[in-house]
């Protein structure tokens, strides 16, 4: 066995998972007097790996795949009565509907609030065509903070959780495209923009699931696609778990029983924004909110609609 084969064999045995190209570069750099070229080193490694006596699994040399998803655990809201507010789209929120939801929550008594996503519209940095006269990012932030301030004053002791929706994701998307140098700048973090520390709001990002008892809460954009005729059924077909979402601005319910009598229930919650925006003046939206009550390990959902400022 000549020296080129011996060195290649030893390298393959020592680094079985290293791709041929990378291992050849290492051999060529360390043994310039043995290998006359990079291609010569690659050929020697290929020969060594084809040698059946070495009993090397050729798949060990497959390169590792890249992954950009960061593992996370669901966020548990360990409270008994949770008010769920979806799709305010401030500054295009509907004050009458929001007030009705908050008054209802005040009357029954709640222990936590979940802002279920799209509380801010981020109109000013949207990539969609908009009237440039409406692009005032600071005004959007000011109005959102005024909303959080009013709600915190009304509910000084409840836990507040903020689930990032697709409209809040516009901020990072804008920075990635328009100003990548500012990504990671603390002042431009969403928690800083809404002053989450001051209002004692926990911001939940990365498309995490929020669990209230056995109910899985998401915004609704996580799966992609539209909600179809019945968003709650759409959610069931994709999640296959008892769940609740907003995003589609429509109240709906879907319940399925399995062959062994397991019940899975899903809900979509109405919005708290203007029902006739310029970009979609004719739609099937409705105002609404939800109350989730957890007792003895079981949860109950009150999926409320709001019509002309009254809760039903």
Provide the pLDDT for residue 87.
96
Provide the pLDDT for residue 173.
78
> Residue 111 burial by CB count (10 A; 0-12/13-18/19+): exposed, middle or buried?
middle
Between the CA of residue 229 and those of 4, 140, 143, 237, 279, what are the distances in Å? 68, 32, 33, 13, 21
User: Quick check: helix, strand or coil at residue 214?
Assistant: coil
Of the options 3.40.640.10, 3.60.21.10, 3.40.190.10, 1.10.275.10, the CATH number for the domain spanning 75-311: 3.60.21.10
**What is the rounded distance in angstroms from the CA atom of residue 45 to the CA atom of residue 254?**
60
Averaged pLDDT of the chain: 88
Provide the pLDDT for residue 248.
95
Which H or E run includes 312? none
Provide the pLDDT for residue 58.
66
Provide the pLDDT for residue 181.
74
pLDDT at 52 exceeding the cut of 60: no
Going by pLDDT thresholds of 50, 70 and 90, the confidence category of residue 174 is confident
In this prediction, residues 263-270 reach a mean pLDDT of: 96
* Highest averaged pLDDT of the listed ranges 49-58, 128-137, 166-175, 214-223: 214-223
Between the CA of residue 19 and those of 5, 9, 42, 76, what are the distances in Å? 17, 14, 10, 43
Going by pLDDT thresholds of 50, 70 and 90, the confidence category of residue 272 is very high
* 184 φ/ψ sector (left φ>0, alpha ψ -120 to 50, else beta): left
Q: Phi and psi at residue 294, in whole multiples of 5°?
A: -110, 125
Tens of pLDDT along 73-132?
899 999 999 999 999 999 999 999 999 999 999 999 999 999 999 998 888 777 665 666
pTM: 0.77
Termini Cα distance of the chain: 86
Domain boundaries, the chain: 3-61, 75-311
**What is the rounded distance in angstroms from the CA atom of residue 100 to the CA atom of residue 93?**
13
Sign, CA torsion 256/83/210/177: positive
């Amino acid at each position: 066995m000549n020296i080129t084969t011996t060195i290649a064999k030893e390298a393959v045995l020592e680094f079985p998972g290293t791709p041929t190209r990378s291992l050849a570069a290492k051999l060529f750099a360390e043994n310039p007097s043995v290998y006359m070229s990079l291609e010569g080193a690659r050929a020697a490694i290929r020969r060594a790996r084809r040698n059946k006596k070495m009993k090397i699994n050729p798949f060990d040399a497959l390169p590792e795949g890249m992954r950009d998803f960061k593992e996370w655990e669901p966020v548990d809201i360990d409270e008994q009565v949770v008010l769920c507010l979806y799709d305010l789209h401030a500054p295009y929120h509907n004050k009458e509907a929001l007030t009705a939801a908050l008054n209802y929550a005040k009357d029954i008594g709640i222990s936590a609030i979940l802002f279920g996503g799209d509380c801010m519209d981020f109109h000013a940095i949207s990539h969609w065509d908009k009237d440039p006269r409406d692009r005032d990012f600071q005004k959007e932030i000011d109005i959102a903070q005024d909303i959080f301030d009013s709600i915190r004053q009304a509910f000084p002791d409840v836990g507040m959780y903020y689930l990032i929706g697709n409209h809040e994701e516009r901020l990072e998307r804008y920075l990635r495209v328009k100003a990548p140098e500012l990504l990671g700048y603390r002042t431009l973090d969403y928690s800083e923009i809404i002053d989450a520390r001051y209002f004692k709001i926990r911001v939940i990002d990365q498309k995490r699931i929020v669990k209230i008892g056995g109910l899985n809460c998401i915004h609704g954009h996580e799966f992609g696609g539209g909600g179809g005729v019945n968003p709650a059924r759409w959610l069931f077909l994709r999640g296959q778990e008892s769940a609740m979402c907003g995003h589609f601005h429509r109240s709906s319910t879907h319940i399925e029983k399995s062959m062994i009598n397991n019940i899975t229930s899903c809900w979509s919650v109405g919005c708290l924004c203007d029902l006739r925006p310029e970009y979609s003046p004719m739609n099937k939206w409705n105002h609404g909110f939800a109350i989730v009550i957890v007792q003895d390990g079981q949860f109950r959902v009150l999926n409320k609609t709001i019509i002309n400022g009254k809760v039903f």
